[in-house]
Structure 1
Amino acid sequence: MMRSDEASSRRDLMAYDAVAKFFHWLVVVLIAAQFVIGWTMPDIHKDTRPDGLIAWHLGVGATLIAVVVLRIVWRFTHRPTPAALSPVLSVVSHITHGLLYVALVVVPVLGWANASSRGWSVRLLGLLPYPAIAQTGSPTGHAMGDIHGVLAWVLFALIALHVAAALFHRFVLRDRIVQRMLP
């Protein structure tokens, strides 16, 4: 017969299903690609064309939007088993995850608005066009590009906090929280 703490530990490890884990790690890969592309692509000016790394940034961003939407839908329809955390860590975890989800939606949507204001096409997998969400030449749409850049750094900070928390759980608290999302 299994002891109750062993059963709880096993339940915590099975908290996220394979689909949730897939979406999590796919978002990690897409975000990593976006940051690398974003840091290495040329600056965008008035007459910049969406070629090369800029086109890649748009394509990965379009994919990221679709995957994050699917991830959010999955998360709301497939709630994981709550982790056994202290009340303080539980609140901090919920706030951090909430901010991550908001940033994962807002940052790419702002980039999409900026691309729309430049008359650039945003396409999922290079095929399915997304509708323009800002008029071509829109000063607001152009400003969204600046906000996109700033909030990308906020997203980066949130990701760093998320990774630091995972390392804290693994090496300081020595609990099994990190294993819940490992493949």
Structure 2
Amino acid sequence: MAKVQQSTHPAYDAVARTLHWLTVLLIAMQFVIGWTMPDIHKGTQPVGLIAWHLGVGSTLIAVMVIRVVWRLTHWPTPDELPPLLSVVSRITHFLLYAALVAVPLLGWINASSRGWTVRLLGLVPYPALSETGSDFGHEMGDVHGVLAWVLFALIALHVAAALFHRFVLKDHVLQRMLPHAGPSNDSPRNQ
């Protein structure tokens, strides 16, 4: 039986990889649901695809909280990138994390302004982040829609960069986030 060859390049740990791919799945679901659900108007009820959008969004919020805490407490092994690529990578990752937190948060604020209860897994209610009928909450719904497109563009840039690393630079940056990518060298930040 052939032995699977391990990469000598350090990978992200299993928790970071799992959270990354779970985020990918949830975001893909959100974009499909968001593009296919009916428009939301005054008096629209959170049923059907709108309920699904709220449910997946509430799960995304929970995953992102865990992901941010994990990232803040575990340093990934630095990539061996040229200085300019390293700076671009850090900026892009920061913007991705910011958008991945802001977009569902703004959706939650908007849902609260409509009097909708956002529930994790349909069970655990999240607190309202704006009063029912709040003009601010309704405006955040518009910002939510615009930032979703910004998030989409950042994701496209992230995917393009991963493919650039794999097929042009032929380095191991992409493989670090794939299963069986090699030994993890992530370390807790407090060590």
Structure-2-length-normalised TM-score: 0.89
Measure the CA separation in 2 of the matches of 1:177 and 1:145.
Answer: 36
Measured after TM superposition, the shift of residue 13 of structure 1 is 3.1
CA contact (8 A) 1:166 1:178 kept: yes
Tell me the residue number matched to 1:3: none
| Structure 2 equivalent of residue 120 of structure 1 | 116
Query: Structure 2: how far apart are the matches of 1:69 and 1:88?
Result: 29
Please say if residues 13 and 177 of structure 1, whose CA atoms lie closer than 8 Å, have aligned partners that are also in contact.
Answer: no
Structure 1: gaps spanning 5 or more residues: 1-8
Residue pair 1:41, 1:53 contacting (<8 A) in 2 also: yes
- The two structures, once aligned, show a CA RMSD in angstroms of 0.7
Q: Secondary structure at the match of 1:13?
A: coil
Q: Name 2:91's counterpart in structure 1.
A: 95
Instruction: Find the counterpart in structure 1 of residue 42 from structure 2.
Output: 46
In 2, Cα distance between equivalents of 1:49 and 1:105: 25
Normalized against structure 1, the TM-score is what? 0.93
User: Could you say which residue in structure 2 is the equivalent of 1:154?
Assistant: 150
Among 6, 10, 13, the residue aligned to 2:10 = 13
Is 1:174 matched up with 2:166? no
Q: Point out where structure 2 has 5 or more consecutive residues left out of the alignment.
A: 1-6, 180-191
The corresponding residue for 1:34 is 30
Alpha-carbon distance in 2 for matches of 1:69, 1:182: 22
Count of residue pairs brought into register by the alignment: 173
What secondary structure, in the 3-state scheme, does the structure 1 residue paired with 2:89 have? Answer: helix
CA–CA distance in structure 2, aligned partners of residues 44 and 67 of structure 1: 25
Q: How big is the shift at 1:78?
A: 1.1
- 2:188 alignment partner in structure 1: none
